[in-house]
Structure 1
Amino acid sequence: MSPAELFEHLGGWFYLITAGLVALDAPVPPTPSELFVIGSGALASTGDVGVVPAILAAWLGCWAGDIGLYALFRHRLTHVLDRWGWGRRVHRGIRSLLAKAGPAPSLAGLFVLRFVSGGRTASMAAAGIAGIRWRVFLWFSGLGAFTWSCYMVGLGWLTGEATGLPWWVSAVMGMVLGTLAGLVIAGIVAWRRRAEAGRGPGER
């Protein structure tokens, strides 16, 4: 059985696996969650999976991963990760992303940066370090996770409808388009940061 046939016959487990991978993607960005999320949209275009369950699975997984990573840094539980070799590697990876993205969190960042490669991890960890209130965090994170899920599933659905190719091909094409969109967003964020850094205190 080919990988495509295997995924197509997973049935309800497909949603659970998708949710689990999306949650894991928060602390471990290389997790191939986007392939499943965009792929679920492509499968929805052929009627193999439902659009609503696909969005719900991605949303709940995304929100759960956000909350877990935020809590880890808010309550300073990273020493738990450091007990194991794989945990130390994960911790180093998160710290590396924080160093690249900058430690200053923003409420807009909880919403926008998840569309940028590694941005979700950095923004959730930064929010925990900064101690953003739980209620505020849950609201912005939940809204951002839902928007991201609709966007990713919709991207797969539109790609599948437009091409009529096998779902996994549409998923790969959707990932390429999503990556390009993420690069545009990352460029805009970087430009805004440079512009703000170049202003004097009296110009803000």
Structure 2
Amino acid sequence: MASWITQIITDLGYVGIALLMLLEAVFPPIPSELIVPFAGFAAGEGTLNVFGVILAATLGSLIGMLPWYFVGRLFGLERVKWLADRIGRWFAFNADEIDYAARIFARWGKPIVLVGRLFPILRTLISVPAGLAKMNFLAFALFSAIGMLIWNSVLVGAGYLLHEHYHLVESWLDPLTWVVLIAVVGLYVFRLFTWRPNRASQKI
């Protein structure tokens, strides 16, 4: 599994990294923690530039969060919650979690857009209340980019440093990757089958 991810990143380069991160931003169950360190490995091999990898990952994440921001900005809270209770099953969240993200944004304001990028699921959901609050787009993009730049730098750096000791970690890295992937997929499947709408009966 580890070699497969690394091969894709090596074959597609920066475009592949950006596309993977875009997918991660649009589809929350895919964790960046499973993608970006392998881009760091590729940089460690010398096939990619480490700063280019960080920028590609950040750009992909930045583009991927735009649909969520504009959904919130264009549709409004009640319509977004209605949509969450119609199609949210496939994204592993419902209207209650939209409410939760909105409360977090209301309490902490713009800085949570930056900090929220460091946490799975929240890094996607926090874009919606930012759009609902009609947060200035340039400010939203800047705060998001800073948060994602920090997180991606940490993950790329970890992969880059581990590459120097790859012979020591190779034996357990691939099984560990499978464990993480199975855990993520298992959690997603669990959410898929236990998911319940909270406001499906409400009209917009």
1:95-174 maps to which residues of 2 (within 5 A)? Answer: 95-101=95-101, 103-105=103-105, 106-162=109-165, 164=167, 165-166=169-170, 169=173
Mean CA deviation greater in 41-50 or 160-169: 160-169
Asked if residue 53 in structure 1 is aligned to residue 52 in structure 2, the reply is yes
Whether the aligned pair in 1 keeps the contact of 2:26 and 2:124 (CA below 8 Å) is yes
Whether the aligned pair in 2 keeps the contact of 1:111 and 1:144 (CA below 8 Å) is yes
Mean CA deviation greater in 96-105 or 142-151: 96-105
CA shift for structure 1 position 15: 2.8
- 1:134–1:114 CA distance, 2 compared to 1 (3 A): same
Whether the aligned pair in 2 keeps the contact of 1:8 and 1:48 (CA below 8 Å) is no
Whether the aligned pair in 2 keeps the contact of 1:39 and 1:153 (CA below 8 Å) is yes
Question: Which ranges in structure 2 are unaligned for 5 or more consecutive residues?
Answer: 181-204
- 1:44–1:72 CA distance, 2 compared to 1 (3 A): same
Whether the aligned pair in 1 keeps the contact of 2:21 and 2:60 (CA below 8 Å) is yes
- 1:168–1:57 CA distance, 2 compared to 1 (3 A): farther
Whether the aligned pair in 1 keeps the contact of 2:61 and 2:148 (CA below 8 Å) is yes
Which one scores higher on RCO, CA 8 angstroms, separation ≥ 6? Answer: 2
State the TM-score, normalizing by the size of structure 2.
0.66
Q: Take 1:127 and 1:68, find their aligned partners in 2: how far apart are those partners? A: 12
CA shift for structure 1 position 166: 3.5
Asked if residue 27 in structure 1 is aligned to residue 26 in structure 2, the reply is yes
Report the equivalent of 2:188: none
Q: Tell me the number of residue pairs that the alignment of Structure 1 and Structure 2 aligns.
A: 170
- 1:12–1:160 CA distance, 2 compared to 1 (3 A): same
Asked if residue 13 in structure 1 is aligned to residue 16 in structure 2, the reply is no
CA shift for structure 1 position 18: 2.3
Q: Take 2:75 and 2:66, find their aligned partners in 1: how far apart are those partners? A: 14
Asked if residue 62 in structure 1 is aligned to residue 61 in structure 2, the reply is yes
Q: Secondary structure at the match of 1:29?
A: coil
Mean CA deviation greater in 121-130 or 16-25: 16-25
- 1:50–1:100 CA distance, 2 compared to 1 (3 A): same
Report the equivalent of 1:185: none
- Over aligned residue pairs, what C-alpha RMSD do you find? 3.5
Amino acid at match of 1:45: G
CA shift for structure 1 position 148: 2.0
